[in-house]
Amino acid sequence: MKKIRIYQLAKELDLASKELVEFLNDLGADVGNHMSSIEHDIAEMVREHFAPAEEDFANDRVETLRPEKIKKRDKKERAEKTTAPKKKSRPKAAKKPKAAPERFISIPENISVRDLAQKLDVAGTEVIKGLMKIGVMASLGQSVDYDIAALIAAEFGAQARPERDLAEQIFEEEICDDPALQKPRPPVVTIMGHVDHGKTTLLDSIRETKVTASEAGGITQHIGAYQVEYNEKLITFLDTPGHEAFTAMRSRGAGVTDIAVLVVAANDGVMPQTVEAINHAKAAGVPIIVAINKIDLEAANPERVKQELTEYELVVEEWGGDTIAVNVSALRGEGIDELLEMILLVAEVEELQANPDCPARGTVIDAQLDKGRGAVATVLISQGTLRVGDAFAVGNVCGKVRAMINDKGNNVQEAGPASPVEVLGISGVPEAGDPFVVVKDEQTARQVAAIQQEKQRERDLSRFSRVTLDDLFERIQEGEVKELNLVIKADVHGSAEAVRSSLEKLSTDEVRVKVIHQAVGAISESDILLASASNAIIIGFNVRPEPNARKAAERDGVDIRVYRIIYNLLDDVKAAMAGLLDPEYKEELLGRAEIREIFKIPGGVVAGCYVTEGKVTRVSQVRLLRDNVIVHEGKIASLKRFKDDVREVVHGYECGIGIERFNDIKEGDVIEAFIMKKVARTL
């Protein structure tokens, strides 16, 4: 029997999608969001629960609130009540609760007694008496919470529902679900698997490009979305990181995908992150295609892989199961065509459809702040068509589409369902995984963003109120429970989320890791102020501190640690928590130079620089920064003043710097000179 999506069932039952998702999760059905699908028999159980049981539920609540008190109250009414409204309002709730048509009213989290009475269309004194019966004393001007208001509403024959604000209405509204307007769309495929099993190489082989070499440590650290064409049909691929530290990113990728391709190396078999990927795909309810990679190696054993997969309820078709398995060699390009054919076959069976003619909706795959282009978000369109000029709300920011760039780097005027595009024209950097929705105008978009920002502020205040200001090392000496407060800054949201998730998993009974703030961009002076006030350590992932921030950190004694590889970050934090602070080599910044001109020479290029602070020495190591993001680290090949080789150049002088085996230098880049000194660790 065909599955049904949550939002379709919610609309049929006249429920909010969020409410139905929570109900199903409480029952033990693991559903992610309103786009998740459930089996037909589960849907029938839900229909039975909400259709006939709803009236009984409302009436039961009336009876449980008033079974014995009605008689007592009736006696009192005969003797005491003299006003007309009281005589009219009481019998309505008590005499014929089942015959009265069921009413629904929307109630906010907190509502005044006067407003509740207006919504119920009864006198305020009646509501006050109803509150007194359940032990709540409140006047007309005082407020009660949703739960209490819902009980009072039930007593007066009304079914309460949480009132949705404009943002909730827009993000949860489904306007693209008319079956008559649905058209086939490309499948969205997520490539998952264990680290070093060849996920990115497989995607490279499909796209016939190479990106692995450009990633630090050879590990994919950001989610990328790409489209390829095969047999005149499009397929959208999401490249999720393979290291287990990036669980949050992979989980987000599975949330928007239609098909999961599980890459397993034929020589290694099923590994811990392979199991994790299987669980994510199953939780998302998506079909799994197994790509058994590295079959060209001598140690390859595809049959052993198939055997190990059966332990996780993945039985391949040739063994009588329903899991498709394809032998591939990403390095040699073998089996790629068969894999793409299987993807299209599964997509055809799934009958993937979307309405391209409604206002666009989608999900943010990743986002970052670009110095030249401002806030940029990679959005995967799920419904509708996004066009240049559309106003939109995304997370707690908004904007108007100024430009769109597809995965091939070309500007496009519109993007349909299952298309990944970079969107420019956003007021701020959204969170990865945020819902993206087109609204009627910019004013509405700003209103939605304001509501979401207020909610975010409330969440932040709630979190910061629990941050300890006690000195970490004093508590260690006293033997109390210790907390390691951290501020995380990263180049993109996906990395920030992954770093936070990884660090929080390091918490033990004795030491807790608490991330008090995370954001995208260079380490700023405000980060130093927060870290100083909270006695926190700042972790920078692929970003550098601004000059003012570095001076503030030295002044306030704030420890800043910058990393490019997550292994090193986790090792340092683990060692600090365990107290294994052995001496190590620590970076000492010598100076900074701004590149003002580029000179081409036979052996490469030389950067014409002006030393803005400190000094640059011939023996120092250098780091090239572009928009405060690390582009390259290496050694100085040459250091000249005019035509003379020199040992060092100090602040206020110009010089020529050549970087060993690196020529991708641009005007405006910054060169940082540093040396590594052996010092005692103080993390």
Q: Which of the pair, 505 or 89, is modelled with greater confidence? A: 505
pLDDT band at 325 (very low <50, low <70, confident <90, very high): very high
668 three-state secondary structure: coil
pLDDT in tens, 502-539: 888 887 766 778 888 888 889 988 888 888 877 788 99
Which of helix, strand or coil describes residue 453? helix
Residues 386-426 pLDDT 10s: 999 999 999 889 999 999 998 888 899 999 999 999 999 99
Q: Which of 194, 243, 294, 493 is catalytic?
A: 243
The answer on pLDDT for 328 being more than 80 is yes
Q: 162 forms bridges with which residues in the sheet?
A: 107
Cα–Cα distance, 608 to 615 (Å, whole number) = 15
385 as an active site residue: the answer is no
- Cβ-based neighbours of 59, under 8 Å, separated by 6 or more: 97, 98
199 is catalytic: yes
Do 186-351 and 361-461 share a fold? no
pLDDT at 485: 84
How far is residue 282's CA from residue 30's CA, in Å, rounded to a whole number?
10
pLDDT tens-place string over residues 413-465: 999 999 999 999 999 988 877 889 998 889 888 988 888 888 777 666 544 43
Q: 326 CB contacts (<8 Å, ≥6 apart)?
A: 289, 290, 291, 292, 335, 338, 339, 342
Please check the confidence at residue 478 and state whether its pLDDT lies above 80: no
- Domain boundaries 586-679, corresponding CATH code: 2.40.30.10
The highest-confidence range among 43-57, 122-136, 300-314, by mean pLDDT, is 300-314
Distances (CA, A) of 582 to 513, 572, 579, 654, 680: 21, 11, 9, 40, 7
Q: Residue ranges per domain, the chain? A: 4-50, 60-162, 186-351, 361-461, 466-580, 586-679
Q: What is the enclosing helix (H) or strand (E) of 339?
A: helix 336-350
CB environment 335-357: b (16+ within 10 A), e (fewer): bbeebbebbbebbeeeebebbbe
- 3-class SS at 427? coil
Q: For residue 207, what pLDDT is reported?
A: 77
Mean of pLDDT over the chain: 78
Number of H helices, E strands in the chain: 21, 35
For residue 641, the model assigns a pLDDT of: 92
SS (H, E, C) 539-576: EEECECECHHHHHHHHHHCCCEEEECCHHHHHHHHHHH
As beta bridge partners, residue 324 has 289
Q: In the CATH hierarchy, which top-level class contains the domain 186-351?
A: alpha beta
List Cβ neighbours of 656 (8 Å cut-off, separation of 6 or more): 599, 606, 607, 608, 609, 638, 639, 640, 641
Q: Per-residue pLDDT for 594 more than 90?
A: yes
Q: Is the pLDDT of residue 120 over 70?
A: yes
Who contacts 524 (Cβ-Cβ below 8 Å, separation ≥6)?
545, 546, 548, 549
626-666 per-position pLDDT tens digit: 998 999 999 999 999 988 999 999 999 999 999 998 999 99
pLDDT (mean) for 469-481:
44
Judge whether 243 counts as a catalytic residue: yes
Structure confidence at residue 271 as a pLDDT band (50, 70, 90):
confident
Query: Residue 50 is encoded by which pair of tokens?
Result: 């909400």
At the top level of CATH, which class does the domain 466-580 belong to? alpha beta
Instruction: Report the CATH architecture of 361-461.
Output: Beta Barrel (2.40)
Question: What angle, 0 to 180 degrees and rounded to 10, lies between the N-to-C axes of helices 146-155 and 124-133?
Answer: 110
CATH assignment of 4-50? 1.10.10.2480
The rounded distance, in Å, linking the Cα atoms of 137 and 472 is 45
Picking from 330, 252, 323, 346, the residue whose alpha carbon sits closest to that of residue 297 is 330
Q: Which of 34, 194, 197, 200 is catalytic?
A: 200
C-beta of residue 671 within 8 angstroms of C-beta of residue 592: yes
Would you tell me how many other CB atoms lie within 10 Å of the CB of residue 422?
23
**Whole-number Å distance between alpha carbons of 588 and 590:** 6
Structure tokens at 594: 């701004």
Pairing of strands 361-370, 353-354: unpaired
CA distances (Å), 67 to each of 73, 93, 147, 462, 587, in order? 11, 12, 20, 41, 76
Catalytic residue among 115, 196, 296, 627: 196
Residues 542-569: tens digit of each pLDDT: 999 998 898 888 888 888 889 988 888 8
> 87-110 burial, b if ≥16 CB within 10 A, otherwise e?
eebbeebbeebeeeeeeebebeee
Mean pLDDT across 263-272: 88
Q: Which residues contact 626 (CB under 8 A, 6 or more apart)?
A: 666, 668, 669, 670
Calculate Rg over the CA atoms of the chain: 31
β-pairing, 324-327 vs 511-520, is unpaired
Q: Record the pTM.
A: 0.52
> What's the token pair of residue 301?
């054993």
Q: What is the pLDDT of residue 649?
A: 95
Is the pLDDT at 119 greater than 90? The verdict is no
Active-site entry in 197, 199, 280, 294 = 199
| Among the ranges given (31-35, 223-227, 298-302, 465-469), the one the predictor scored with the smallest mean pLDDT | 465-469
DSSP letters for 71-91 = HHHHHHHHHH---HHHHHHHH
